[in-house]
Structure 1
Amino acid sequence: MPTTGSKRAARVISWLREQVTSGAWPIGTKIPTEPELTEQLGVGRSTVREAVRALASLGILETAPGRGTFVRSSSPVSAVLTDYLGEKEISDVLGIRRTLEIEAARKAALDLSDEHIDALRHALEEEREHVQSGHTEALDPPGPFHVALVQASGNPLLTELYQGLAHAVKLGIRDGKVKSSPADEKLRDHERIFEAVVKHDLVEAVHAANDHGDRDLVVVPGDSEKSDGGRSAAAPAEPPAVYRRIDTRRGGSLSPVRIFRAPDDAR
């Protein structure tokens, strides 16, 4: 925990972290407002503000101007990890992010609890409300559905790694290196993933998560990729990847479904 200017703020920081780690404030939820915390804890606004700022610096909380403060992580985002990811190509970061999301969808489809189903359904409802109200910035990474999906994997390490990557992605969006897909498109993709995991359809869940990863976030071309006075240089378009299901017989019975990538096969 970072040092603060007052012991009172340190006690508030400890209390706030307990609300997060205990699950009283799940990841993605909005915490009470500054006046509410001031009244509840019996401290001044400056003390609450100092405590929130300290946890925001660790990546546990995130303040969104005009919307409030939200829980973004259950554990501190390591400064070493943040610096390390900052030195890597954002396209590589996005690739690892997609890999984690595909694994999360796979695990969720295999063993999805009623609690996780409720969390995913609630996240979808929250996203629909944001899309309908036009507050689409709330869907920027990690977004409520992505948080719920990763938690549904039941893998705490995957969750912590994803949170660190999500922080790097947010910095990429802030710096103009990454462009997010339209909110209505995100919602459709999330609904498809949800339908697959609740049916325990492993193959469809993996496909849906992968397809979403292909278009959810797009790397914005850098200066080195531009020409003609700042216009983006044309690049040959890659053919869309086609995913097919294969059943192979082994010992007279069908083996588990295999998945393979066929870039130029549209059949």
Structure 2
Amino acid sequence: MATTGSRRAARVISWLRHQVTSGAWPVGTKIPTEPELTEQLHVGRSTVREAVRSLASLGILETAPGRGTFVRSVSPVSTVLNDYLGEKAVGDVLSVRRTLEIEAARRAALELTPEHHQALREALAEERRQVEAGAHEVLDPPGPFHIALVRASGNPLLTELYAGLAQAVRQAIRDGRVRSASPAEKLQDHERILAAIEKHDLVEAVHAANDHGDRDLVVVPDATAAPVVHQGDLQPDTKVVYRRVESPHGDQPAPVRVFRISHDD
């Protein structure tokens, strides 16, 4: 049975999206030209054009006249969220970002797969090499460890939501509204998070991710410059205590809830 034009376009759309979501074409990548895709996928130019136009309408691809077509986002969720966040207070954006990271650490500690474990270890090893080489510049977020962490959650929607926050956070750093911890301090926090995940210690993973969120990226009120913030510069206003409450359910892992309170009576 012959394949209709719409079905061919749907197959090309599926292939193009896989190239983006798999990481083969990261955000910002210039994708192959129309003739190259036509030859590679054995379809007509009109089919390729229809597929690219469809993904461009979703905000996944973006065509720049005279330059080519580029990957704009991983998913429509990321695109819509990024546009929406442009009007939101950066402190609110960072708060949501930290919430997603905490949940990612919790899920990773609960159900870490060998593949995700390897990705976390490789990201941390590369980060360690950079610090040992004397790196002082902080990479635009999210860094490799953060990307590996949210993927280790095993929740694709969480990963897409996190990606949607990235552009807003990057812009806030460039504008001087947010300052970042040093690479060495980030590495120390990331090592603690991974150690907790490897021990399947949900409480420590949550605790470590939350502490990291407190000092990783910090809002700079009424500032035009963004100096690096050091852990010693940040003093907690109140004593913070973490408590855990487990609710066993037969042979299933016990759900863990962690509460942050200002005192411990």
Indicate the residue corresponding to 2:260 in structure 1.
261
| One-letter identity of the residue aligned with 1:171 | Q
Equivalent residues in 2 for 1:116-135, closer than 5 Å? 116-135=116-135
The 2-side partners of 1:243 and 1:155 are apart by: 28
Shift of 1:100: 0.4
Could you say what the CA RMSD is over the residues aligned between the two structures, in angstroms? 4.0
Cα deviation code 1:9-41 (max 9, x no counterpart): xxxx998754333x262869x97x99xx89xx6
The 1-side partners of 2:256 and 2:155 are apart by: 24
Equivalent residues in 2 for 1:28-39, closer than 5 Å? none
Indicate the residue corresponding to 1:245 in structure 2.
243
Please tell me whether residue 115 in structure 1 is matched to residue 115 in structure 2.
Answer: yes
Equivalent residues in 2 for 1:204-219, closer than 5 Å? 204-219=204-219
The 2-side partners of 1:182 and 1:246 are apart by: 31
The 1-side partners of 2:99 and 2:133 are apart by: 31
| One-letter identity of the residue aligned with 1:25 | A
Shift of 1:80: 3.8
* Partner SS state of residue 120, structure 1: helix
Q: 2:98–2:210: 8 Å Cα contact kept in structure 1?
A: yes
Shift of 1:139: 3.5
TM-score (norm 2): 0.66
Shift of 1:156: 0.5
Shift of 1:108: 0.6
Cα deviation code 1:92-145 (max 9, x no counterpart): 000000000000001111100011100000010111122223445463310000
Indicate the residue corresponding to 1:156 in structure 2.
156
Return 5+ residue gaps in structure 2 as ranges. 1-12, 38-51, 63-70, 224-234, 249-253
| One-letter identity of the residue aligned with 1:177 | R
* Partner SS state of residue 139, structure 1: coil
Compared CA separation, residues 249 and 216, structure 1 to 2 (3 A): closer
* Partner SS state of residue 145, structure 2: helix
Moved more, 164-173 or 116-125: 164-173
| One-letter identity of the residue aligned with 2:217 | L
* Partner SS state of residue 261, structure 1: strand
* Partner SS state of residue 164, structure 2: helix
Q: Count how many residue pairs are aligned between Structure 1 and Structure 2.
A: 214
Please tell me whether residue 143 in structure 1 is matched to residue 148 in structure 2.
Answer: no
Cα deviation code 1:53-90 (max 9, x no counterpart): x99xx5789xxxxxxxxx99533565542232111110
Shift of 1:198: 1.1
The 1-side partners of 2:177 and 2:263 are apart by: 29
The 2-side partners of 1:79 and 1:256 are apart by: 33
Compared CA separation, residues 143 and 115, structure 1 to 2 (3 A): same
Equivalent residues in 2 for 1:1-267, closer than 5 Å? 18-21=18-21, 23=22, 25=24, 74-76=74-76, 78-137=78-137, 139-222=139-222, 239-245=237-243, 259-265=258-264
Give the share of equivalent positions with the same residue, in percent: 61
| One-letter identity of the residue aligned with 2:240 | V
| One-letter identity of the residue aligned with 2:243 | R
Compared CA separation, residues 124 and 179, structure 1 to 2 (3 A): same
Compared CA separation, residues 60 and 103, structure 1 to 2 (3 A): farther
Return 5+ residue gaps in structure 1 as ranges. 1-12, 43-50, 62-70, 224-236
Q: 2:60–2:79: 8 Å Cα contact kept in structure 1?
A: no
Q: 2:124–2:190: 8 Å Cα contact kept in structure 1?
A: yes
Compared CA separation, residues 202 and 246, structure 1 to 2 (3 A): closer
The 2-side partners of 1:189 and 1:211 are apart by: 8
